[in-house]
């Protein structure tokens, strides 16, 4: 069964490498690594694609590891990406950037 993320990558002549269709970066062709790249700030993928892959990343975690540090870090990273996707101009954690034009 083919992973949906493969639609967003082109495998290079070296089958261990692939190019992202959105930002044209060459990366490892590992599907989990590629999903994490697409949902990160480093990639300019559309919001709907990022949301879809966030769901796939979270659903792929084993139930046994539900409280591990690794899963918690992944959830925080994905939450930060979700803030960026849904509220442009906001920093991670829902904070507003300091523009230096304060009205204090």
Q: How far apart are CA 76 and CA 94, in angstroms?
A: 12
Alpha helix ranges (H) inside the chain: 31-39, 47-59, 69-86
Report the chain's terminal Cα–Cα distance, integer Å: 58
Q: What is the pLDDT of residues 44-73, one digit of tens each?
A: 999 899 888 888 887 766 555 555 676 777
The pTM is what?
Answer: 0.58
Q: Which residue has better confidence, 102 or 38?
A: 38
Would you put residue 3 in left (φ > 0), alpha (ψ -120 to 50) or beta?
Answer: beta
Closest CA to 38 of 62, 17, 72, 9: 9
């Amino acid at each position: 069964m083919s992973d949906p993320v493969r639609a967003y990558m082109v495998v290079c002549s070296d089958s261990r490498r692939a190019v992202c269709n959105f930002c044209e970066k060459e990366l490892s062709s590992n599907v989990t690594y590629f999903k994490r790249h697409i949902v990160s700030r480093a990639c300019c993928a559309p919001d709907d694609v990022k949301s879809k892959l966030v769901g796939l990343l979270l659903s792929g975690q084993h139930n046994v590891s539900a409280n591990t540090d690794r899963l918690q870090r992944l959830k925080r990273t994905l939450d930060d990406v979700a803030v960026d996707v849904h509220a442009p101009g906001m920093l991670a954690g829902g904070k507003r950037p300091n523009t230096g034009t304060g009205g204090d």
